[in-house]
Structure 1
Amino acid sequence: MIQETFAINQGVKLTAAALPLLLASEYYQSRKGVWVFKPLASLGFLLSATANHQGTAALPVFSKYILLGLGLGAVGDVCLIPKSGFLLGLGSFLVGHLSLVYAFTVHGMDASYALAGLAGTGAIGTIVGRWLLPKVKDPVMRKAVLGYMLVITGMVVTATASLPHTPVPRQQYMGALMFYLSDLFVARQEFVTKSVWNSWIGLPLYYGGQLLLAGTLAQ
């Protein structure tokens, strides 16, 4: 059994420093601040993942797809800064989630854990779908959002299903769950209610989740 540890490396420190400045930029509606501090916060979890990956015994396939998922998340972060980049960002995150789904299956899956994960996220997804989808007026966007919801549900289900087998169950599960929850606040901002609280709750969930997923490479 590998003992889980969370390393406070330079990447973690960069995200921790940039995130409050990003939240302040969102609060004061400083586009320049968002363009500076959001990429920096995302760079932090990429640097953390790279540092964690060096010299570890993590399975190469697992590492490859965790790194790919995090990288696509960072691309999506930048794409979401301008209003016009929402669909491109959505696509980048979608492929990134699929990469994480594959990574989570590498260590093996347990059917009972998968059913538990599906029951929990399925119930949440049903409630969210009934709340969110009627507010997405464009039919193409509605299909894109529905597909995205199915993929992020699959991410949490596979993260849950592999808990008995993965060397880093707590970081993997909490990272995936926080990533999932952060997406709900992105959707709320885009389609339901524009509020600073979407950023103030969603962004810490997102960056905390990404750092935890980056920490799964330190095996």
Structure 2
Amino acid sequence: MANQNCPRSTQQAALLLLYNAKRLRKGDDGWQRRGNGTQAAVIDSAHFSEVYGKPRVKSIGPKLIPFLNTVCIYFILWLPSSEPSWFSALIKCLPILSLGIFLLAYSVSIGAMNSYSKRILLGLLFSAGGDVCLIWPQFFLHGMVMFGIAHLLYITAFGMRPLKLKIFLVFALLGGTLYFIMHPYLQEPFLYTVGIYTALICIMGWRALARVKLSSYGWSWTRAYSAIGAITFMVSDCTLAVDRFCMPLPYARAIVMGTYYTAQMLIALSIIDTSTDYGDDNLLWKKK
């Protein structure tokens, strides 16, 4: 069975061949002699990443500068929410648009954009649309719809394998408890839309956390980023929901926006080194 950790792009495959050829000439210990006298490579993925991955890792920081700058601008200006305007909408959604540009720049730098990255990018764009809608209170429901679509895109990106039903039960319990608490405060049309939205964000958290493998062999920081990002997103939305529908919370806006921008950044960072199209390979309905 093919190793799923092997790079799939032509560029990565060429680098791997060059890497192994150099090790062969140097008599590297990673090459082991078989019984028939031939030599076969033991692919040390950690060593390979160390040799060829450093330039890629170093290139991430500068690409995030626009996002960090726009987040600082949002908190420095701190435009009053009581005075909605298109300028406020632009300032609010600029960090998310910057993450979209980061994603595109990273994809261009590696010469490919897989289905996982495409779905995360679409999720960011719908999130930016939701940010614009939430500036005006009368469009709050429209904003929920936009963010609901973003969560659906993130769910399809994270995939449905492995299921890990125990994690699902935990998130179902959390979501059900939150909705039970908010239910007495909800009125039409939010009585049902909040329930649907709560289910979507809990499913997103479940699917993001289910992808994380704690073993040293299967550990991936990019999957950890998406899991932490999804949970942080849940904290942001829970704070917003309680503040809007139940009771005012101190520093609610700062908590909501701080956790929201952090969550989106972590989810965007999960595209790094996603050599496998998780959104395709992990779907339950994928044909064998």
What TM-score, normalized to structure 2?
Answer: 0.65
Contact kept in structure 2, 1:19 and 1:204, CA below 8 Å: no
Output one character per residue of 1:172-202: Cα deviation in whole Å (capped at 9) or x when no partner.
Answer: 1011111121111221232122445221111
Contact kept in structure 1, 2:103 and 2:117, CA below 8 Å: no
The structure 2 residue matched to 1:177, chosen from 231, 240, 247, is 231
Deviates more, 1:88-97 or 1:126-135: 126-135
The structure 1 residue matched to 2:175, chosen from 113, 125, 128, is 125
Contact kept in structure 2, 1:104 and 1:159, CA below 8 Å: yes
Partner residue, 1:15: 70
Contact kept in structure 2, 1:156 and 1:177, CA below 8 Å: yes
Partner Cα separation in structure 1 for residue 109 and residue 228 of structure 2: 24
- 2:212 aligned with 1:163, yes or no? yes
- 2:159 aligned with 1:110, yes or no? no
Contact kept in structure 2, 1:15 and 1:207, CA below 8 Å: no
Partner Cα separation in structure 2 for residue 40 and residue 18 of structure 1: 9
Contact kept in structure 1, 2:212 and 2:223, CA below 8 Å: yes
Cα distance, 1:92 vs. partner?
0.6
Cα distance, 1:26 vs. partner?
4.2
Partner Cα separation in structure 1 for residue 92 and residue 161 of structure 2: 35
Partner residue, 2:144: 90
- 2:196 aligned with 1:142, yes or no? no
Deviates more, 1:205-214 or 1:42-51: 42-51
Unpaired runs of 5+ residues, structure 1, are: none
Corresponding letter in the other structure for 2:75: P
Corresponding letter in the other structure for 1:162: R
Count of aligned pairs: 212
Secondary structure of 1:211 counterpart: helix
Output one character per residue of 1:22-73: Cα deviation in whole Å (capped at 9) or x when no partner.
Answer: 5x3248x554573342122332222222233333387611111111111101
Secondary structure of 2:79 counterpart: helix
Q: Which structure is higher in helix share?
A: 1
RMSD: 2.7
Partner residue, 1:210: 264
Contact kept in structure 2, 1:15 and 1:43, CA below 8 Å: no
Identity %: 24
Which of structures 1 and 2 has the larger relative contact order (alpha carbons within 8 angstroms, sep 6+)?
Answer: 1
Deviates more, 1:38-47 or 1:175-184: 38-47
Change (3 A) 1:201 1:98: same
Partner residue, 1:63: 117
Secondary structure of 1:213 counterpart: helix
Secondary structure of 2:156 counterpart: helix
Partner Cα separation in structure 2 for residue 162 and residue 58 of structure 1: 23
Change (3 A) 1:65 1:117: same
Deviates more, 1:126-135 or 1:189-198: 189-198
Secondary structure of 1:100 counterpart: helix
Partner residue, 2:11: none
Partner Cα separation in structure 2 for residue 26 and residue 189 of structure 1: 17
Unpaired runs of 5+ residues, structure 2, are: 1-44, 274-288
Output one character per residue of 1:60-101: Cα deviation in whole Å (capped at 9) or x when no partner.
Answer: 111111111111011100111001111111111111100000
Partner Cα separation in structure 2 for residue 67 and residue 179 of structure 1: 16
